Structure 1
Amino acid sequence: MKIAFYSITGQTRRFIQKTGLTAYEINDADPDHEMGAPYILVVPAYDDDMMDAVIDFLGYQSNTRNLVGVAGGGNRNFNELYIHTAKDIAHGLQVPVVFDFEFNGTDNDVKNFQKVVEEFESKQSRHIQSHIL
C-alpha cells in the first residue's frame, strides 16, 4: 500500500519515518505527483489555507480516485479540532479516517499504523485477485 504524507512542523514526517514504511512526501514547491495506485494519505491538523499543497496533490491526475483512506496527526488539547483536516478530507472525498495519532506518535501508534497499512494491502491484494479469477 502506498502512502503519501504532508508535514508542516516535522511531526508527521517523524511519525512516517518511525514506521519504516516507504512514503511520498507532498511538498509545497511541487505537489503534482501521481500516486498511480491505491494509497493512504497522512496529514496534520492545520487551517485549510495551510493545506494548499495537499489540495493540489489530491486534484492531480488520479490521486482522488486512488485515495483509500486518511490518517491524521494532531494534538488532543484542541478537542473537536483534533485531526480535523483528516476528517474534512475523508468526509469530502467519502473515504474513511483509518488512523489517528498525537504529535509524532507513540511506539504503539507506529505498530498499529503498520497493521492498518498491512490490512489495506491485504484487502487490495484480495480485490485484485478476485478480478483476475
Structure 2
Amino acid sequence: MVYFSSASENTARFVAGCRFQDEGINVYRVPLKASEPALNVREPYVIMVPTYGGGVIKKAVPIQVKRFLNDPDNRAWIRGVIASGNTNFGEAYCAAGDIISTKCHVPFLYKFELMGTPEDTAAVKNGLVKFFTAK
C-alpha cells in the first residue's frame, strides 16, 4: 500500500485504521514536502490518494502523487488505485482515482468520502488482503 496524505492527515488516519501491517501488507507514504527524500517502491502496490482541486478535475491528482508516478520504476509496480473525495465536488468526486486508473491502466478499486466510515475501512482492508493474496 502506497498512500499520500496532506497536512490534514485524513488519508493517513484512514490507512492507520486499516492496520495493513497486521495482514503483512507493507505501507509506504508519498512524501508531503519536496525537500523530503523521494519514495521508491519496488514491489506491487495499490495507491491511495485524496482528490484535490475543489471540483476542478484537471487539478484532482496531488502534485506529490504525480511526481511519484512519473518515476517509471515506481509506475511499473502500480496494480490499482483507491481514492477519497468530497461529494460536494460533484462529477469530480474521487476524480484522482479515475485519472490514475486511466493513465496507469490499473483498476479503480474503491472510493470513499473524506475520512471514510468504519465500513469503508473494513472493505478496503479486506479487499486489499484478497487482492494481494489472489493467485
- Which of the residues 48, 63, 69 maps onto 1:52? 63
- Structure 1 40/98 Cα, relative in aligned 2: closer, same or farther at 3 Å? same
Change (3 A) 1:49 1:38: same
Larger Rg: 1
Residue 37 of structure 1 aligns to a residue whose secondary structure is coil
RMSD across aligned positions (CA): 1.7
Higher helix share: 1
Amino acid at match of 2:46: I
Letter in 1 for 2:20: L
In structure 1, list runs of 5 or more residues that go unmatched: 127-133
Mapping for residues 1-133 of structure 1, pairs under 5 Å: 3-8=1-6, 9-22=8-21, 23-27=27-31, 28-29=33-34, 30=36, 32-47=38-53, 48=59, 51-123=62-134, 126=135
Count of paired positions: 122
Scaled by the length of structure 1, the TM-score of the pair is 0.83
Describe the superposition over 1:61-102 as per-residue Cα deviations: whole angstroms up to 9, x where unpaired. Answer: 521111000000011122211100111111111111111111
